[in-house]
Amino acid sequence: MDEKEHSCGFGDENEKTIEVEHSCVDFTVLIIGKKVRGVLEDNKWNYQFNDEALADMMYIEDNEFNEFYNLDIIRKVIDYQFNAKTKPFLSFMFKFYVFGFVIPFILTMTIEWVLLLNILYSICLFVQLFFISFEWIQLKQQHWKYFTDPFNVNDFSQFALFTYIYFYKMLTQFEGDNMVSMYL
């Protein structure tokens, strides 16, 4: 923790504030707008204040509440959550996709040894199954609205197309790979 002089715009101009990470703050005591007050007033004291609950509380759909997101404390909490949780997770997922799917799939276009082709296609299938699990969770939450987003349709189509390619290649054991079937 570090102390610094900070002018809050009201009260004493030399008021001291202490900056702490949001994970150190007891949010059952701190009130962020009417959402937390509603939780406390409804006697939901066993509410778990974790990153997901905090993001749900802070999410406001109406454009009239944009000044809420411009508050310094809210920006710091969002930045901390992104840098501490989301950024490393997305970085890992990107590397996992590149090294687990893209590179092995590209290698299958140049390799002719059937055993290695089976291994590479199986690695690609495992990665596709891993990523489709996220799509499945999203589909369960959004129902038919899931298919209105073109990125979701792209993700789901990639899985379906690769699954078709995988089983086609495994059943034929790469026999008769002509130019047309190689592009499938």
With respect to residue 83, please indicate whether it lies within any of the assigned structural domains: no
pTM attached to this predicted model: 0.59
With respect to residue 20, please indicate whether it lies within any of the assigned structural domains: yes
Which range marks the domain in which residue 126 is found? Answer: 88-183
Q: Among the ranges 91-95, 169-173, 180-184, which has the highest mean pLDDT value?
A: 91-95
What pLDDT sits at residue 30? 46
Residue scoring higher pLDDT (177 or 66) = 66
Q: Are residues 40 and 102 in the same domain?
A: no
Confidence tier at 37 by pLDDT (50, 70, 90): low
Could you give the number of structural domains in the chain? 2
Q: Are residues 92 and 64 in the same domain?
A: no
With respect to residue 107, please indicate whether it lies within any of the assigned structural domains: yes
Report CA 124 to chain centroid distance, whole Å.
21
Cα–Cα nearest to 72, from 3, 2, 7: 7
Q: Are residues 65 and 92 in the same domain?
A: no
Q: Are residues 118 and 155 in the same domain?
A: yes
Cβ atoms 30, 36 nearer than 8 A: yes
With respect to residue 37, please indicate whether it lies within any of the assigned structural domains: yes
With respect to residue 9, please indicate whether it lies within any of the assigned structural domains: yes
Whole-Å CA distances, 20 to 3, 35, 47, 85, 154: 10, 22, 22, 16, 41
Confidence tier at 47 by pLDDT (50, 70, 90): low
